[in-house]
Structure 1
Amino acid sequence: MEDSEKNLQEIVEAKGSDESANEVKKKKKRKSYRARRSLIVSKLSCFRSPDYGFPTIDEVDGDGNVDMKSASAGENHSPTHLVVMVNGLIGSAHNWRYAAKQFLKKYPEDIIVHCSERNSSLLTFNGVDVMGNRLANEVTSVIKRHPNLQKISFIGHSLGGLIARYAIAKLYTRDSTDNHCLECISSERIAGLVPINFITVATPHLGTGGHKQVPMFGGSNTVEKVANQISWVLGRTGRHLFLTDKAHGQPPLLLQMVKDCEDLKFLSALQSFRRHVVYANAHFDHIVGWSTSSIRRRNELPQRKNLVRSGKYPHILKGEHDTTNTIKQETSIKSQVNSFKAARASMEEAMIRGLTKISWERIDVSFKGSKQRYFAHNTIQVNTPWMNSDGADVIQHLLDNFHLHL
């Protein structure tokens, strides 16, 4: 009888011990869940906040232009590097606000960020040249407000990259007239400042005029022809993007912008920057194709199956080395059968040849597997943080590789 009672007591104690252990496990699980939830809420709160977790001082002039400085920097600090951020089609300065905050967080003492205001909303239909002139005037006014600036960099999203390319040609100066002078590079200036970084994000450098440069058209020759016919819907900008503008017998504007013209030195202005970078979506960008945004022929694009994700930056791809200078142009015999495709291919080839006279860092991006993948064109910029937050690592990559000095 005593043995039975003893066994029963041991069973009860063992059961109590198990229940206690289970309770401890449950408490740990709840604590871990609360910690994860707190972290997620904290991140989301940061994205919802207009400051995105980092306070800045926004200086607004009479024209509505906004210059952003770090609120944490000393009162007497005088930044010497101007970073100009340019929005895309139907965009606004607000599209770059998240990225601007991250720049100021990383370089609080060194930079002023100016998110361009003068080409927003429907004004983006006015044409690359008109918007480029506006941006050039805008940058000049910013520099006048900050006389201590010494260096300048541009970052453009989508159409903004083309606008920036036009603007720098307007702002380009070169003190020396001797083309063989060893010091000529140091004498080149953009709006009187030393050019450092020229960065574009999902920019249609080769235009969007047919030849499979707009993924949403599905590569259909018929659809591309229709889009070509109705490009006027986007105003002068549409004609520039679809390469249908031929004012006064001149070639399309984007074709002109790959070389130096008599009054605008497009190529020299671009070459004057110490660094040239293109970020391009390899998947799910339905607006701008991979080849036009990375300035490569389609047969030069890496095989997607050979691309792997970077550990630190989940959406940045690593893979084959750039093959732009080693792969020869494909034969165009087949394309000559169709004059529409042949004309587009010919202009595209001319633009590639012009732009690849400059060395480019090509950063391929993929949001495959992300819930935000179908918004890849905006996610790569973190256009709207609560909707495009997965692009934060792309912005971080841009920051970590940004050249602050010569």
Structure 2
Amino acid sequence: MEKNLEEMIEAKRSDEEEDANNLKKKKKMKRIRRRRSLIVKRLSCFRSQDFGHPTIDEVDGDGNVDMTSASTGNKHSPTHLVVMVNGLIGSAHNWRYAAKQFLKKYPEDLIVHCSERNSSLLTFNGVDVMGNRLANEVLLVIKRHPNLQKISFIGHSLGGLIARYAIAKLYTRDSTDIHCLECGSSARIAGLVPINFVTIATPHLGTGGHKQVPMFGGSNTVEKVANQISWVLGRTGRHLFLTDKPHGQPPLLLQMVNDCEDLKFFSALQSFRRHVVYANAHFDHIVGWSTSSIRRRNELPQRKHLVRSGKYPHILKGEQDTTNTAKQENSIKLPISNFKAARASMEEAMIRGLTKISWERIDVSFKGSKQRYFAHNTIQVNSPWINSDGADVIQHLVDNFHLHHL
């Protein structure tokens, strides 16, 4: 009798365990199906050149592209211009996916201009030359669309530096503008109200040694060698490695943190309502976390304290840093006795200059992704079939974009 009872209890326990295992299997299969569905949905979006949203593309003789949403027809005249600037050896096509996502969310408000004037080998011509080209290009875009009122810039990698130079060329103050009372400032970029200035994996502090290029492994010797052969990248290489000394003046990137007599670099940047830097915390072998987030290395968050966002899997959540150092001196005096100390001194001067403005710092990590070794391009979704994991970063950029001044 007792034996039969034990067998019954054991059988019941086995049935319960089997039911529990079946439930676990069902939940697992449900998660797998949901994941597959998301992947299929994403791939179906990437399969088309429309990337899920049809647009009207106007291409000029130089290959520059003005994109507007096709869903509104000609009923609306957008008033906000978004200028997207490519990086080294890049082109307007690198921004196509991101541009589509912006127009999908803001079809009636935006014209997205994907710059092509500085593409391919032309990106070796120097930050100043490319900045001048971009400034002239923006003026032509505005001439084609006379109803524009606001302007924003988004630059990837070198494109962020090109944009910083271009806005200084386009910066003006107009106390007679009737919109000044509404927006609280007379500062204009090409006659438009500046709203967002966003950079993605941009070497704001240059790449001139001091561990700013991860692929160099922090080796002082390797950095010195790279410094010596920076000419391979033309004038751009000399600007990035801080080896240019035009007419005995400081390197261009160092000049670009202050107002000069003819170019108001700082005032132009400050005129934007919002300043944002997206920076790879892992696996970006080209642009380091410090230079792209405009922070000293000892100010970088500890990676173990950063957690992933639920909605945006590759965005790291931590205490958002929007601090500045406006009360600090504009320059720093360090003993310049060797290569490393000289680079550290210039880097510190650039940090102090740039952080007089408040920045939203968005840290990104593709750790665990099969595309992590292409992090520098994945963060932009440069090529959707290779860099699709960066789609959530672009979505974060789109969702947090400011259409209007505050």
Instruction: Provide TM-score, normalisation by structure 1.
Output: 0.87
Work out the CA distance in 1 between the residues paired with 2:127 and 2:184: 27
The structural deviation recorded for 1:275 is 0.3
Return the letter of the residue paired with 2:136.
Answer: N
Return the letter of the residue paired with 1:398.
Answer: L
Q: Which residue of 1 aligns with 2:7?
A: none
| CA deviation map 1:343-374 (0-9, x unaligned) | 00000011001001101000011111111111
Cα contact 2:281–2:363 (8 A) shared by 1: yes
| Residues 1:89 and 2:88 aligned together | yes
Q: Which residue of 1 aligns with 2:251?
A: 252
What secondary structure does 1:186 align onto? Answer: coil
What secondary structure does 1:84 align onto? Answer: strand
The structural deviation recorded for 1:336 is 5.2
What secondary structure does 1:232 align onto? Answer: helix
Q: Which residue of 2 aligns with 1:191?
A: 190
What secondary structure does 2:185 align onto? Answer: helix
Q: Which residue of 2 aligns with 1:106?
A: 105
Cα contact 1:300–1:327 (8 A) shared by 2: no
| CA deviation map 1:94-129 (0-9, x unaligned) | 000000000000000000000001000000000000
Structure 2, unpaired ranges of 5+: 1-24
Work out the CA distance in 2 between the residues paired with 1:184 and 1:388: 38
Matches within 5 A, 1:55-204: 55-176=54-175, 186-204=185-203
The structural deviation recorded for 1:321 is 4.8
What secondary structure does 2:62 align onto? Answer: coil
Residues 303-312 or 87-96, more deviating? 303-312
Cα contact 2:56–2:68 (8 A) shared by 1: yes
Residues 372-381 or 26-35, more deviating? 26-35
Structure-2 change in CA distance of 1:265 and 1:325 (3 Å):
closer
Larger Rg computed on CA atoms = 1
Cα contact 1:185–1:272 (8 A) shared by 2: no
| CA deviation map 1:149-184 (0-9, x unaligned) | 00000000000000000000000001249xxx9999
Q: Which residue of 1 aligns with 2:43?
A: 44
Q: Which residue of 2 aligns with 1:400?
A: 399
Work out the CA distance in 2 between the residues paired with 1:245 and 1:183: 42
Q: Which residue of 2 aligns with 1:341?
A: 340
Q: Which residue of 1 aligns with 2:304?
A: 305
What secondary structure does 1:58 align onto? Answer: strand
The structural deviation recorded for 1:53 is 1.4
Q: Which residue of 2 aligns with 1:316?
A: 315
What secondary structure does 2:312 align onto? Answer: coil
Q: Which residue of 2 aligns with 1:288?
A: 287
Q: Which residue of 1 aligns with 2:209?
A: 210
Q: Which residue of 2 aligns with 1:352?
A: 351
Work out the CA distance in 2 between the residues paired with 1:89 and 1:264: 24
Return the letter of the residue paired with 1:154.
Answer: F
Return the letter of the residue paired with 1:403.
Answer: H
The structural deviation recorded for 1:186 is 1.8
Cα contact 1:176–1:184 (8 A) shared by 2: no
Return the letter of the residue paired with 2:287.
Answer: V
Return the letter of the residue paired with 2:118.
Answer: N
Number of residue equivalences = 378
What secondary structure does 2:87 align onto? Answer: coil
Cα contact 1:300–1:324 (8 A) shared by 2: no
Structure-2 change in CA distance of 1:307 and 1:327 (3 Å):
farther
What secondary structure does 1:197 align onto? Answer: strand
Q: Which residue of 1 aligns with 2:226?
A: 227
Return the letter of the residue paired with 1:255.
Answer: L
Q: Percent identity?
A: 89
| CA deviation map 1:306-357 (0-9, x unaligned) | 111111111111124536659999xx99x95961000000000110010011
Work out the CA distance in 2 between the residues paired with 1:309 and 1:76: 41
Residues 307-316 or 54-63, more deviating? 54-63
Q: Which residue of 1 aligns with 2:360?
A: 361
The structural deviation recorded for 1:218 is 0.3
Cα contact 2:65–2:114 (8 A) shared by 1: yes
| Residues 1:261 and 2:276 aligned together | no
Return the letter of the residue paired with 2:72.
Answer: A
Cα contact 2:243–2:251 (8 A) shared by 1: yes
| CA deviation map 1:174-203 (0-9, x unaligned) | 1249xxx99995211000000000000000
Cα contact 1:153–1:195 (8 A) shared by 2: yes
Return the letter of the residue paired with 1:169.
Answer: A
What secondary structure does 1:219 align onto? Answer: coil
Work out the CA distance in 2 between the residues paired with 1:326 and 1:89: 32
Cα contact 1:296–1:324 (8 A) shared by 2: no
Structure 1, unpaired ranges of 5+: 1-25
Work out the CA distance in 2 between the residues paired with 1:27 and 1:305: 33
Cα contact 2:325–2:352 (8 A) shared by 1: no
Return the letter of the residue paired with 1:307.
Answer: L
Return the letter of the residue paired with 2:52.
Answer: G
The structural deviation recorded for 1:299 is 0.7
Return the letter of the residue paired with 2:126.
Answer: G
Work out the CA distance in 2 between the residues paired with 1:277 and 1:216: 25
| Residues 1:240 and 2:239 aligned together | yes
Cα contact 1:281–1:377 (8 A) shared by 2: yes
What secondary structure does 1:357 align onto? Answer: coil
Structure-2 change in CA distance of 1:214 and 1:31 (3 Å):
closer
What secondary structure does 1:367 align onto? Answer: coil
Return the letter of the residue paired with 2:352.
Answer: R
Structure-2 change in CA distance of 1:261 and 1:220 (3 Å):
same
Work out the CA distance in 1 between the residues paired with 2:266 and 2:326: 22
Structure-2 change in CA distance of 1:74 and 1:184 (3 Å):
closer
What secondary structure does 1:57 align onto? Answer: strand
The structural deviation recorded for 1:30 is 9.5
Return the letter of the residue paired with 1:198.
Answer: F
| CA deviation map 1:209-240 (0-9, x unaligned) | 00000000000000000000000000000000
Q: Which residue of 2 aligns with 1:9?
A: none
